[in-house]
Amino acid sequence: MGEGIDGRGDPRWGSIAELVRAAAERYAGHEAVVDGRVRISYAQLGERVERAAAGCLAAGVEPGDRVAVWAPNTLEWIVSALGAVSAGAVLVPLNTRFKGAEAAYVLQRSRAKLLFITGTFLGTSYVASLRRAAADGPGTGPLPGLEHLEQVVVLAEDAPESFRTWKDFLAGGDSVPAEAVRERADSIRSDAPSDIIFTSGTTGSPKGAVITHAQTLRCYQVWSELAGLREGDRYLIVNPFFHTFGYKAGIIACLMRGATMVPQPVFNVDTVLANVAAERISVLPGPPTLHQSLLDHPQRDHHDLSALRLVVTGAAVVPLQLVERLRSELRIATVLTAYGLSEASGIVTMCRRGDPAGIISSTSGRAIPDTEVMIADPEGRGRPAGQAGEVWVRGHHVMQGYFEDPAETAEAITEEGWLRTGDVGVLDADGNLCITDRIKDMFIVGGFNAYPAEIEQLIGLHPDIADVAVVGIPDPRLGEVGKAYAVRRPGSTLTGDDLIAWSRREMANYKVPRAVEFVAELPRNASGKVLKTELRAR
């Protein structure tokens, strides 16, 4: 039985607001967040979140209003987001890689009332790019093109005219009685929406998956339990907060267990190494590329990484060698893989501590408690173990639907409550799930189904290949064939012909890429997923 779960498997907190308050009381003196030179305790975090919630009340935020955050991983993101949710708002996190028009689309689609925005990040003025995108429209607020957006708060010391600074926003809430803030938090129902996570949009316009407080709390109590997150852990959160992996497996999980959050705004391996050593980081989730770059860094041995004990990763391809190297070279006791998607609260299956390295690298583990996973044929019938099909999921964490989009919701969720994930997978005899690809990424070579992730896993075994992505391209004879975009290891002189010849020895002929293009790096979105649409467009 997990700490924080009652006998029915339900979380003991009714809402995220209640979780924040409970953490502030239970872990009061523990360090909650380390952001640069700023260090605050859980008691101080609780105070800051209540002050931000008061600011939301003063700004006219009502229960159910959408409040967006467009900023990198910082203390201000944590405080503004949790403050909004504690005021009964529905959080809409915006991808930090968005351009102005993409951010404006999500803000307009969600009818966000309030936006917290960073000033400048990675050399880009978010305020300026959004202003350009939303300069024209019927609205009378700070951005005429976004008529529902009433206020924009810049998470900085200065702000352009018609926008507010973070300091002014917080000061605006000082006149709101503490009882009013507490009363609003206490009124939040567990079945009320807590957030709308917009899908990454790699296959079309982003759609907003609506998730409730109860779903979030139940899922990440389970995640914390299965991962073995502990009180006193020090957690480097490199995964972006706008993504479920960063916000929920990061911030929410830390609040549940009293772990210290160390947000890192940009993935940079030198900064990761420095942070792990200086802050005695014990928990480092992230995509496989993060851990691979850590292992391969020439200065790795100059840093003390001995506190690291827990790594959680996930992708279609997690090399066995990566799992073994994390365990042997860095002496990391627990390395786990997991699978999830925004439409299922971010988690569906997970490996268990004690699973052998082969299971951890070749599968995403078994269904989390009270969850059903089925491999479906095109007619929606279940397929036996060992046969590939679309992964369908049913359980407590399946979204309420896409925000105000009944047609897309009906496409995604069957009348029996099954979520069609769009992923291709196989279950083994023990119920471990192996994701082989996206249905839309599969291509057909002379009548044979070719799954890029499977081909990528095989090519990834080549000693000169550091990274690879495969897409289908038109072929006059076979209909489609594979093209590999590959990243060579430093110093390698491997040619495309060499790689094709090697592939012919290692895999069935229809899987062998007919073309190879070497690139410096693969295009990825901020969640670490390779942008196959971009590669296909080339």
Alpha carbons within 13 A on the beta-carbon side of 26? 15
Of 249, 298, 239, which Cα lies nearest the Cα of 273? 298
472: tokens are 């289908």
Nearest to 188 by CA among 51, 60, 18: 18
* Ranges of residues in the chain whose predicted pLDDT is under 70: 1-10, 200-204, 315-317, 447, 526-527
Residues comprising the chain, all counted: 538
pLDDT at 9: 53
Q: What is the pLDDT of residue 440?
A: 76
d(CA 244, CA 241): 7
CA angle 101/62/208 to nearest 5° reads 40
User: Which pair of tokens denotes residue 61?
Assistant: 């935020």
In the 3-class helix/strand/coil scheme, how is 150-208 assigned residue by residue?
CEEEECCCCCCCCCEEHHHHHHHHHHCCHHHHHHHHHCCCCCCEEEEEECCCCCCCCCE
Integer-rounded Cα Rg, in Å, for the chain is 23
Query: For residue 315, what pLDDT is reported?
Result: 65
CA-to-CA dists, residue 173 to 48, 52, 57, 180, angstroms: 11, 7, 7, 11
Predicted local distance difference test score (pLDDT) of residue 202: 44
Q: What is the pLDDT of residue 317?
A: 66
Greatest Cα pair distance in the chain: 73
Q: By CB neighbour count within 10 A (0-12 exposed, 13-18 middle, 19+ buried), where does 392 fall?
A: buried
Report the C-alpha gap between 422 and 201 in whole angstroms.
Answer: 13
> Among positive and negative, which fits the CA dihedral 435, 436, 439, 441?
positive
* Residue 270: exposure state from Cβ atoms within 10 A (0-12, 13-18, ≥19): exposed
Give the Cα separation of 154 and 125 in Å (integer): 11
- β-strand 114-117 against 465-475: which pairing, if any? unpaired
Q: Exposure of 174 by Cβ count < 10 A (0-12 exposed, 13-18 middle, 19+ buried)?
A: exposed
The full set of domains in the chain, from first to last, is: 16-201 (3.40.50.12780), 267-438 (3.40.50.12780), 443-537 (3.30.300.30)
Cα separations (Å) of 523 from 24, 445, 485, 527? 40, 25, 10, 11
Summarised one tens digit per residue, pLDDT across range 157-206 is 888 888 999 999 999 999 999 999 999 999 999 999 999 999 855 445 78
Distances from the Cα of 146 to the Cαs of 44, 150, 499, in angstroms? Answer: 35, 9, 51
Determine the Cα–Cα distance for residues 208 and 111; give it in Å rounded to an integer.
Answer: 12
CA-based nearest residue to 93, from 249, 197, 208, 245:
197
Q: What is the dihedral of CA 382, 385, 389, 393, to 10 degrees?
A: 60
Are β-strands 31-35 and 66-70 bridged in parallel, bridged antiparallel, or unpaired? unpaired
How many angstroms separate the CA atoms of 80 and 75, rounded?
Answer: 9
Q: CA-to-CA distance for 27 and 30, rounded, in angstroms?
A: 5
CA distances to 229, 308, 471, 510 from 328, in Å: 21, 13, 34, 36
Q: What are the residues facing 208 on neighbouring strands?
A: 198
Give 467's strand partners. Answer: 487
Q: What are the tens digits of pLDDT across the range 63-73? A: 999 999 999 99
Number of other CB atoms surrounding residue 504 within 10 Å: 12
**Distance in angstroms (rounded) separating the CA atoms of residues 236 and 86:** 24
Using an 8 Å Cβ cutoff, are 52 and 173 in contact?
A: yes
Spatial distance between the Cα atoms of 317 and 328, rounded to a whole number of angstroms? 20
φ, ψ for residue 266, nearest 5 deg: -130, 140
Cβ contacts of 150 within 8 Å, gap of 6 or more: 59, 60, 113, 114, 141
Residues 6+ apart with CB under 8 A from 498: none
Question: Is residue 347 a contact partner of residue 223, using CB atoms and an 8 Å limit?
Answer: yes
Residues 235 and 259 sit within 8 Å (Cβ to Cβ): yes
pLDDT at res. 28: 98
